[in-house]
A and B are shown apart, each in its own frame.
Chain A
């Protein structure tokens, strides 16, 4: 797609479900996948006479985020009622924030190749989630599950500082990494722990004013954020170039068809009639409280990356790879606790293990291969007890069946034959079986070297050290 001198302007609203033990205004537990309507108390059901009581853990989670992005923190936070009717919104209003959001202006830095860019965060506020409407369960009725109703959300609103789909994805990844490193959300987009709306407009580079924007709803994966924004930018440019105007409206992204379609226009938009929530008094946040949060802030990805580069002598790229999320970083550090080379650890985690995770669509916390496995595999390689191919085989066995590395090496007979005499005997066998090829190799057909190493490996079921085979082969050739 050619932008033809159009400049996209993008802002994201990211809803992060906070990993609190209980809901924002009730003591109902939060559990994904529980039986419908079993995690909902009288407060979550909006029964007559119930009152909200603010969850302090949610405040502390939001403060962590605010401190992590160096944002202003409101001294006094106020909740407001956002009024609209929907069957999965039990009270007919959502308790959210309008004025005095808990987190004010802040910023995050994103990486784009070699360059970096500062993206402004306008605000982040606390609000309760709605329940879920399920329309495909019964033929004539819709079903409502209120388990999710009242769970804590942090809505993070960015400035319109993003100028491409790629930047939007990087920004979203950054937010994801911050909230997971802080431990305030599991960040699991597939379970709706992070949801994203995008405000998209385009303008000519020298236009002072922004173009009319549309709001894209319901884009719930990194991939869809990218695709939806690309589609929408393209659509807007095409409209404008046809001489049409962009209508300010909310559009829904359809991931199956990869397009956005109109959901409601500005005129049809709800008047939410916000007003301060009279059931909750304004909450004061003290300087001490903020300092306390700041002091106890967990290590954030940038700082951790810096540390990895310094202490483990990792390259920028490698350090970036293992700090991609909190789970990977702690996996990496646990592998290192077995005193293996950091470089080998990075290679094994980001190479073979990531490949397996990707292939099986799993994340690292779901992996059967644990840091001890990786560490022992590396130790065996470093001690030349197993060969590279054997190591890969081991990893696959552990992935699918689990087990102890030492036992598996024995059981599968993967112990490397490092005894030169034994390997030489096998090499001699291979040479005598392949006299013709050996002569060719001798006369300079170098690529046959691999053939001989391969044959030896085959005969030893991969347990010979390829290095040793190479050395021995060279010795034979020079005779």
Chain B
């Protein structure tokens, strides 16, 4: 049955509906693989029995011709999405005992669409990290080379897809947490437009940047998964009340593309293999008929500093609720209210989370607000303006996902060097634009990602372009 887990989502849906195989078989195969590859540490929770029961129900629905769109497809959720009566840890000791009494909209939508949640994936603590090393549950190993990082923060989701432990996985992206691990693991990851997917029940890191998305085997699979996850949700005030396009149809449609290339940025790439693979990818698309335009994004170089003010500022408030009082870790050594706060938070949070709470608290403090937070907001607006200008003449923008391929676990100890991992991915978060990463070559035998950024609500267009590329190349194929 092991070949079932290698199939694309499209083929799995087809195979289930024409009864070539059952959900019981495919679910069993994934659960076996999860056991076999336990050392990768992709999962924080696995729901074995429950998944097997749900597979039986799915098979009954299929037999009765009552199959829902994702009926019987085993998937994994990043452990940042609350699921009712399930442990939801966000990769933190702080929430290692938290059983959520309610479900996230992402879970509910995919559950309603018939998908089976086989487990919850490992992640950097509170989605803060780019290597999966900040997780309280230990780092995830890159399935391609276990000495290397799978990237982060959605490293568990990316590695699980690459290791064939689920059909696709949900993930979140605040500054690159879907695209960078997708790039490192040689899979396809998409962060849709801010507001396209409800944030209800998704544990907040930086509210104005956080967006849920998909990590899948290829662009077509990602399009199908994203379609069933998207939509307006009145429980999320930042959710967009816009019609959900049929991404499944659009991904295969005949579309013309004008690709914008930020030339200055590309010329500055230090890693030759990354630059060559990028130029190669663009020439493949150009040969296929896409038009290439040079564009300018003059303020993009300020993305990183702006992001590292805005994200920590929001995180410092979002993480204030973890005070040991109502839920989560509570220190045992407490003799005053002050102790309860200080000790619970000192014990419950890891180093990187504390770093960011400190940075954010500082940036919002009296006397520093204008110098840091306000200035960062202004830069954010300028970056949005750069993109608006560019999208007047192009239909998508291409750049590398990351300036390097995966690195050795434990090799980056300087936080700022780690923050630079997100240098190409952060701009899309600051502007709220949809962006994806697809494999486009290798560097030191490890995958390199090509990033495609679309205009607002144009997920379909970048998925279409990615699908085109994947029809022309085989960088995305793996067993």
The answer to whether A and B interact is yes
**Residues on A facing B (Cβ under 8 Å):** 42, 45-54, 81, 83, 85, 87, 90-93, 144, 271, 273-275, 278-281
Q: Which of A50, A87, A278, A279 contacts B337 (CB 8 A)?
A: A87
Closest-CB distance, A45 to chain B (whole angstroms): 6
Residues of B within 8 A of A280 (CB): 237-238
Given contacts A144-B325, A275-B364, A278-B208, contact A49 B317 (CB under 8 A): no
**Residues on B facing A (Cβ under 8 Å):** 81-82, 88, 90, 95, 98, 100-102, 104, 199-204, 206-208, 234-238, 313-314, 316-317, 319-321, 323, 325-327, 337, 341, 361, 364-366, 369, 373
User: CA A195 – CA B352 in complex, angstroms?
Assistant: 42
Residues of A within 8 A of B202 (CB): 49
Residues of A within 8 A of B364 (CB): 83, 273-275
Leading 10 A-B pairs by shortest Cβ distance: A92-B320, A273-B364, A278-B207, A278-B208, A49-B201, A48-B203, A46-B321, A49-B203, A49-B82, A271-B366
Given contacts A42-B101, A49-B202, A85-B341, contact A90 B208 (CB under 8 A): no
User: CA A83 – CA B204 in complex, angstroms?
Assistant: 16
Q: Which of B88, B236, B317, B369 contacts A48 (CB 8 A)?
A: B88
Flag if A83 contacts B320 (CB, 8 Å): yes
Residue of B nearest to A27 (CB): B235
Residues of A within 8 A of B204 (CB): 48-49, 279
User: CA A144 – CA B320 in complex, angstroms?
Assistant: 17
Flag if A90 contacts B82 (CB, 8 Å): no
Per DSSP, chain A at the interface is loop
Flag if B90 contacts A48 (CB, 8 Å): yes
Which interface residue of B81, B98, B317, B341 has the most chain A CB atoms within 10 A? B317
- How many A-B contacts if CB must be within 8 Å? 99
Per DSSP, chain B at the interface is loop
Residue of B nearest to A277 (CB): B207
Given contacts A83-B317, A87-B337, contact A273 B361 (CB under 8 A): yes
Residue of A nearest to B201 (CB): A49
9 A-B residue pairs with Cβ-Cβ distance under 8 Å, sorted by A, are A42-B102, A49-B82, A49-B202, A51-B235, A83-B316, A85-B341, A90-B326, A91-B317, A275-B373
Residue of B nearest to A45 (CB): B326
Given contacts A45-B326, A51-B236, contact A275 B321 (CB under 8 A): no
Residue of A nearest to B103 (CB): A49
Given contacts A275-B369, A278-B314, A279-B238, contact A47 B327 (CB under 8 A): yes
User: CA A91 – CA B319 in complex, angstroms?
Assistant: 8
Residues of B within 8 A of A279 (CB): 204, 207, 237-238
Residue of A nearest to B233 (CB): A51
Residues of B within 8 A of A275 (CB): 313-314, 317, 364, 369, 373
Residues of A within 8 A of B313 (CB): 275
Residue of A nearest to B314 (CB): A278
Closest-CB distance, A447 to chain B (whole angstroms): 72
Residues of B within 8 A of A144 (CB): 325
Residues of B within 8 A of A278 (CB): 206-208, 238, 314
Residues of A within 8 A of B208 (CB): 278
Flag if B237 contacts A53 (CB, 8 Å): yes
Flag if A52 contacts B237 (CB, 8 Å): yes
User: CA A274 – CA B317 in complex, angstroms?
Assistant: 10
User: CA A92 – CA B361 in complex, angstroms?
Assistant: 13
User: CA A351 – CA B195 in complex, angstroms?
Assistant: 62
Flag if B201 contacts A93 (CB, 8 Å): no
Closest-CB distance, B20 to chain A (whole angstroms): 38
Residues of B within 8 A of A83 (CB): 316-317, 320, 364
Residue of A nearest to B102 (CB): A42
Flag if B325 contacts A87 (CB, 8 Å): yes
Residues of A within 8 A of B325 (CB): 87, 144
User: CA A90 – CA B326 in complex, angstroms?
Assistant: 8
